[in-house]
Structures are given as structure tokens and as C-alpha cells.
Structure 1
């Protein structure tokens, strides 16, 4: 995959729009999922994913191929999510009706032949509870928890994306888990 990706990047740097479209195809779902987990809103996640690819296109000439492309694109998306969180004020209402299934990704909506309806409800409630607790974490902890446990990135990859030392990453993972545990206890 890396060889193919490198060739696509080289072609895209030379202005080949089809190569860039293929890069988007490779990363669009991953970037959307990262953004959705960080901001908790489908429309905002789509906007962030689109903005990520616009920035990648505009700055592709600055990409240093000594580093993994995935690290570079995840850094752009993560920073956009954090910036969005800083600018945003809460926009929810206790009277607002919640759309069925909101807050869940497509995979969590797939039915399983082994689960009973009761088990499905319990699973859905648990996922909503975890997502809600995750969304309440400070952005510096939320981004690391998502990158580590949902995107399954290594400490080094997270360090490269966020440009933080691994010791800081470890500390924030520990504090993020503690904060998440505390929030889940009271839900």
C-alpha cells in the first residue's frame, strides 16, 4: 500500500487530479470517522473532512515524504477538529428531539443475528454513553483517546500527529482514561 500511496502522492504533487482523487478515496472514511468521533456531529465531521482535503490539496507541495502521509493528514484533521471545538459554543437544547441512531456510526447500526432486541438496546445505550462521555473530555484528552483506542494508532504515530513527546502522550492517555472512567461512573 505504501508504494502505491507514494506513487499517488508524487503524481498528485505534479498536478494529477485523478491521483489526488484516489488519495481522497483511500482516506475519506478514516478522516470522516476521526472527525465524527471528535466533534460528535455528522455535518461538522463532513465539513472537517472536506476542509482537511482542501488543505491537503493546497499544501501537498509542503508534504515531506520522509514521514508517513497518514500521519500528516491525521494531524491536519485533528487540528481542524480541535480548532472547531475551541470556536464552538454548546448548541444543544434539553427540549430538542434526538434523531434515532444519532451519535452512532454506520457499523454500529448493523443488526446481528445473535443479539436479542434487549441486547441491542443495551449495546446502543452503552455506545451512546461512551460517546457522550468521550465528547465531554477536554479536547487534548479526547483527541488522544480517539487516536489511540478508536483509530488504534501507536504512541509514536500519535506523537508525530500531535507533535508532542511520547511521555506527554502517555500522561494524557492515563489522565484521559481516568477522566473517562470518572464520567462513566456517574452516567
Structure 2
């Protein structure tokens, strides 16, 4: 933690190398968040770059009142939400032909026990990830944000509350409603829902 504080202070004084070390430490987390908001690798990479730029421009706004990771999650989440809203305004229709590419730290990466899945299992796992990613992308922004932070990134209620600047009660309520909405979205395709989630 002391090393991180030194890096932040150096970055705030314009030390690019210190800032690059911070980016290196958090780039996979930022990309994973961006991927869940974007749904594909290309847009996630663009979102990640935008997050890095915002972090660089605003590193002096970090006041050491919270952990650096909390500040980074807040910047990443807000940037991704802004990008999604901008994209939705410019392109409100969703094409069912758009596929989802898999990224690092995928939703089910911790749940796949078999190190050598059969080809059928690989296809099923990819299909399941696509189903989940598509369902998450259909959630309202408030719900999508807390589901990504809690169920995918594994953050605590307190951490999420600090990141999105609301009460823990609000976080819990949004998570509950988000999960309910997710189940409803998934249950629309009864065959897939029964196959993977019953």
C-alpha cells in the first residue's frame, strides 16, 4: 500500500512512468469491466483506453480518502456507462447478428472445473457466456452496474456503495432487482434457460 501511495503521488506530479505502473496493475480489471459493459472485445478496448485517459487527466482529483482501487472502479464504471449511453443514442437498435467475443476473466472462468473440456462442452460454455453477456447488456444501467461490480468483479456491498456513491441498502436493492431482471430476461428463451439455469 505504501508503494502504491508513492506511485500515486509521483503520478500526480506528472511522472508518466509511475502512472504506467498503476495502469499495468489495474488494466485487466478495467478491461473486464469494460468488456461487461461493451459486450465485445473491440469496444471494450476502446472503453479501456478512454478510462486510462480519464484517469491520467484526473489523477490529481484522487484525494487519498478512499482506496485507489475504489477510485479506479468509479472512473471505469462512469466512463463505461457514458460510452454505453452515447452508443445507445447513436445506435439504438441491437443486431442479433452481433456476436460476443470472450475476454479475460470471463463470467464463468472460476466455475469451469474441467481443465480439458470436450469440444461439445467448449461450445456449450461459449453459448452460455454469450447468453449471459447478452442478458447483462439488456439490463438497465443501474442494475447492470451493480451486477457487474458484485457478481462478476466480486466487490463487497460497501465497496460498491462507495464506487457508485449511494447507500448499501440501495446497492442491495439494485442487486436484488437486477438479478430478478436477469432471470426474467434469461427465461424468455425457455430452452436455453432450462438447459443452463434450472
Q: TM-score, normalised by structure 1?
A: 0.88
Task: Identify the residue that residue 194 of structure 2 maps to in structure 1.
Answer: none
| Distance apart, 1:71 and its partner CA | 0.8
Distance 2:139 2:98 in 1: 24
Distance 2:183 2:10 in 1: 46
Structure 1's unaligned 5+ residue stretches are: none
Task: Identify the residue that residue 188 of structure 2 maps to in structure 1.
Answer: 186
Distance 2:134 2:124 in 1: 15
Distance 2:115 2:48 in 1: 33
Q: Which runs of 4+ in 1 moved over 3 A?
A: 90-94, 110-114
| Distance apart, 1:93 and its partner CA | 3.5
Counterparts of 1:1-187 in structure 2, within 5 Å, are 2-88=1-87, 89-90=91-92, 92-94=94-96, 96=97, 98=99, 102-106=100-104, 113-187=115-189
CA offsets 1:127-146 (integer angstroms, 9 cap, x no match): 11111111111111011000
Q: Structure 1 residues 12, 82: closer, same or farther in 2, change over 3 A?
A: same
Q: Structure 1 residues 106, 49: closer, same or farther in 2, change over 3 A?
A: closer
CA offsets 1:133-183 (integer angstroms, 9 cap, x no match): 111111110110000011111111111110011111000000001001111
Distance 1:176 1:97 in 2: 24
CA offsets 1:8-56 (integer angstroms, 9 cap, x no match): 1011112211111101111111101101111213222222211212111
Structure 2's unaligned 5+ residue stretches are: 190-198
Distance 2:93 2:2 in 1: 44
Q: Tell me how many residue pairs correspond in the alignment.
A: 181
| Distance apart, 1:97 and its partner CA | 6.7
Distance 1:85 1:13 in 2: 29
| Distance apart, 1:90 and its partner CA | 3.3
